[in-house]
Structure 1
Amino acid sequence: MVAGICAGAVAAAVLASGAGGAGAGAPDGFRMRTDAQFAPVAALMPSAAVTYDSRLVPPAAWIQVSQHTAVSGATTVKLRVDGMVPGHAYSVHVHQKPCGADPAAAGGHFQHEPSTDPAAATADNEVWLDFTADGHGAAEASAHHTWGFRQGEASSVVIHDMPGSRTRAACFTVPFGWAP
Structure 2
Amino acid sequence: MRTIAAAIAATLVFTGTAQAEPAHVAHTSAKFESYSPAAKAVTYDAAKVPANAKVTVLGAPTISGGTTVLLALEGLLPNRAYGAHVHVKKCGAAPADSGPHFQNVADPVQPSVDPAYANPRNEVWLDVHTDGNGFALAESTVDWQFTERRAQSVVLHDEHTHTGPGEAGTAGPRLACVNVAF
TM-score, length basis structure 2: 0.77
Aligned counterpart, 2:35: 41
Unaligned runs of 5+ in 1: 4-22
Aligned residues: 153
Aligned counterpart, 1:90: 82
Pick from 116, 121, 131: which aligns with 2:118?
Answer: 121
Decide which structure has greater helix share: 2
Contact 2:83 2:158 survives alignment (8 Å): yes
Counterpart-to-counterpart distance in 2, 1:92 and 1:144: 14
Counterpart-to-counterpart distance in 2, 1:34 and 1:153: 15
* Cα distance change of structure 1 residues 52 and 68 upon mapping to structure 2, 3 Å threshold: same
Contact 1:2 1:62 survives alignment (8 Å): no
Pick from 137, 141, 145: which aligns with 2:138?
Answer: 141
Counterpart-to-counterpart distance in 2, 1:175 and 1:134: 28
RMSD: 2.2
Contact 1:94 1:110 survives alignment (8 Å): yes
Aligned counterpart, 2:11: none
Please give the secondary structure, in 2, of the residue aligned with 1:105: helix
4+ aligned runs moved over 2 Å, structure 1: 26-33, 70-73, 150-153
Counterpart-to-counterpart distance in 2, 1:41 and 1:153: 22
Pick from 150, 154, 159: which aligns with 1:157?
Answer: 154
Give me the identity figure in percent: 41
Aligned counterpart, 2:26: 32
Counterpart-to-counterpart distance in 2, 1:109 and 1:48: 19
Greater Cα offset, 69-78 or 101-110: 69-78
TM-score, length basis structure 1: 0.78
Kindly provide the CA deviation profile for residues 17-74 of structure 1, in whole angstroms up to 9, marking residues without a partner as x.
Answer: xxxxxx9xx84432232200000125xx942100000011000000000011146531
Contact 1:160 1:168 survives alignment (8 Å): yes
Contact 2:156 2:174 survives alignment (8 Å): yes
Unaligned runs of 5+ in 2: 4-18, 162-170
